[in-house]
C-alpha cells in the first residue's frame, strides 16, 4: 500500500525534475523560482497563502499544457507534471505554510492532550461500535498509517496517509460484515471506527495537517474518494474536540471521573519525567545498576542501563509519556525556530540566468541520481 504510492510519487517527481533541467524549460523554471521567492514578500497568512498557491497551480497548469515540452502530452502526463510541481513548491514553502500560526499550534496541543486523556479509558463500546466489528489488533494497521502523516511534507503524500488509514478500516469492516453476516450501516459504522482509530493513534499535529492539506492540495484532486475520506477525518477531529459524556454511551459522572483521573495520572507522570530529566529524583521503581550512578551517588539517566526484563508496567507508561512529551516539545520548538529564522532572513535573490533547475531537492528525496540520463 505505502510502497506503491511512494513509488508512484517518486517517479512522478523525478520526471518533473528531469523536464525542468531541459534548456527549453527556462521560462517555467523562472516562473517557479519567482513564485517561491515572492512568497517571502508577504506576511504569513494561511488563507491568503492558500489562495495564492491555488492560483499559481492553475496558472502553471495552463502554461504546461501550452509548453513545447508537453506537446501532445496525455492528461495523465500533465497531471504527473502538476503533482511534481505541487510537491516541489510545497516542500520549499513548508516552513512558512505548515503550522505557521500560533493558534494552530495551540489547537494541535489541545487536541493531543485531550486524546491522551481519552486513551486511558475510552473503549469501542463507548462509541457504539458493534461487537462484531471490533478488531483492535487489525485496527493497529490503520493507526500506523495515520501516524505516518508527519513523515511527509507534500500535501498529496499526507493525504495518502489518511486514505490508506481509511481504506484499511473500510476493508476490515467489509470482511467483518461478510464473516459475521452483519449488514453495514455505511457512515454510521465507518465514522465511529475512524474516531476510535484516531484517538488510539493520536497523530501528531492533526489540526495543522488537515488544514495544510485543505489549503495546499490541488483542489482538482481533493474530490471523490479522497474528499470523502478527508472529510470524514475532519469530522472525527471535530467530534474529538467537542467530545463530552453526551457524545458517548457513558454516564456523565463516570466520564468526568475518568477524565479527572487521567489528568491527575498524566500530571504525576509529567512531573516525575521532568524531575528525572533534571537528574533530581529517580521515580522509577526499577532497580538501576550501580554503574548508572554518578560520583555523587545520584542517577542522571535512570533507564540508560536498565534491561527490558527489568522494566515494570509503570516504567513503560512513564517512558511512553516522556517520549510523547519530548516529541511534542521538540516539534513545537522546531516550528518556532523555523518561523523565527524565516522572519529574520532576507528574501533570496532569484537567479535570472542559466537553465539548470538548481533548486535543491526536498528533504527525504534520494539525491543519488545522475543529472544526465544514460550516465
**Model pTM above 0.85:** no
Q: Look at residue 115 in the predicted model and tell me its pLDDT.
A: 96
Pick out the chain residues at pLDDT < 50. Answer: 2-3, 281-300, 345-375
Q: Look at residue 351 in the predicted model and tell me its pLDDT.
A: 42
Query: How is residue 127 written as a grid cell?
Result: 462509541
Using the CB atoms, write b or e for 211-233: b if 16+ within 10 Å. bbbbbbbbeebbeeebeebbebb
For the chain, list the domains and their CATH numbers. Answer: 1-97 (1.10.246.120), 102-263 (1.20.1050.80)
Burial (Cβ within 10 Å: 0-12, 13-18, ≥19) of residue 315: middle
Q: Look at residue 312 in the predicted model and tell me its pLDDT.
A: 66
Q: Look at residue 267 in the predicted model and tell me its pLDDT.
A: 77
Q: Look at residue 84 in the predicted model and tell me its pLDDT.
A: 94
Q: How far is CA 313 from CA 67, 121, 285, 316, 359, in A?
A: 63, 17, 10, 5, 50
What does the alpha-carbon distance between residue 192 and residue 179 come to, in Å, rounded to a whole number? 20
Amino acid at each position: 500500500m505505502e510502497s506503491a504510492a511512494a513509488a508512484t510519487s517518486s517517479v512522478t517527481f523525478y520526471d518533473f525534475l528531469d523536464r525542468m533541467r531541459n534548456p527549453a524549460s527556462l521560462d517555467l523554471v523562472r516562473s517557479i523560482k519567482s513564485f517561491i521567492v515572492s512568497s517571502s514578500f508577504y506576511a504569513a497568512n494561511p488563507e491568503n497563502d492558500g489562495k495564492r498557491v491555488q492560483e499559481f497551480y492553475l496558472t502553471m497548469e495552463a502554461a504546461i499544457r501550452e509548453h513545447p515540452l508537453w506537446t501532445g502530452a496525455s492528461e495523465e502526463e500533465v497531471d504527473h507534471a502538476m503533482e511534481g510541481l505541487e510537491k516541489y513548491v510545497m516542500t520549499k514553502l513548508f516552513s512558512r505554510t505548515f503550522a505557521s500560526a500560533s493558534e494552530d499550534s495551540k489547537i494541535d496541543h489541545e487536541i493531543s492532550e485531550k486524546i491522551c486523556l481519552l486513551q486511558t479509558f475510552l473503549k469501542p463500546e463507548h462509541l457504539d461500535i458493534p461487537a462484531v466489528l471490533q478488531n483492535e489488533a487489525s485496527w493497529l494497521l490503520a493507526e500506523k498509517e495515520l501516524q505516518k502523516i508527519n513523515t511527509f511534507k507534500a500535501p498529496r503524500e499526507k493525504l495518502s496517509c489518511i486514505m490508506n488509514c481509511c481504506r484499511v478500516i473500510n476493508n476490515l469492516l467489509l470482511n467483518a460484515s461478510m464473516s459475521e453476516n452483519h449488514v453495514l450501516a455505511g457512515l454510521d459504522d465507518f465514522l465511529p471506527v475512524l474516531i476510535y482509530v484516531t484517538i488510539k493513534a493520536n497523530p501528531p499535529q492533526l489540526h495543522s495537517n488537515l488544514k495544510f492539506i485543505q489549503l495546499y492540495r490541488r483542489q482538482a484532486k481533493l474530490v471523490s474518494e479522497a474528499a470523502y475520506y478527508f472529510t470524514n477525518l475532519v469530522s472525527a477531529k471535530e467530534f474529538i474536540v467537542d467530545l463530552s459524556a453526551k457524545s458517548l454511551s457513558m454516564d456523565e459522572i463516570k466520564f468526568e471521573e475518568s477524565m479527572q483521573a487521567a489528568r491527575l495520572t498524566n500530571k504525576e507522570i509529567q512531573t516525575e519525567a521532568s524531575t528525572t530529566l533534571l537528574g533530581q529524583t529517580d521515580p522509577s521503581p526499577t532497580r538501576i545498576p550501580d554503574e548508572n550512578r554518578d560520583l555523587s551517588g545520584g542517577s542522571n539517566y535512570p533507564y540508560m542501563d536498565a534491561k527490558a526484563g527489568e522494566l515494570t508496567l509503570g516504567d513503560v507508561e512513564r517512558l511512553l509519556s516522556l517520549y510523547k512529551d519530548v516529541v511534542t516539545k521538540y516539534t513545537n520548538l522546531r516550528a518556532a525556530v523555523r518561523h523565527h529564522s524565516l522572519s529574520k532572513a532576507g528574501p533570496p535573490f532569484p537567479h535570472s540566468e542559466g537553465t539548470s533547475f538548481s533548486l535543491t531537492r526536498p528533504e527525504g528525496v534520494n539525491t543519488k541520481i545522475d543529472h544526465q540520463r544514460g550516465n
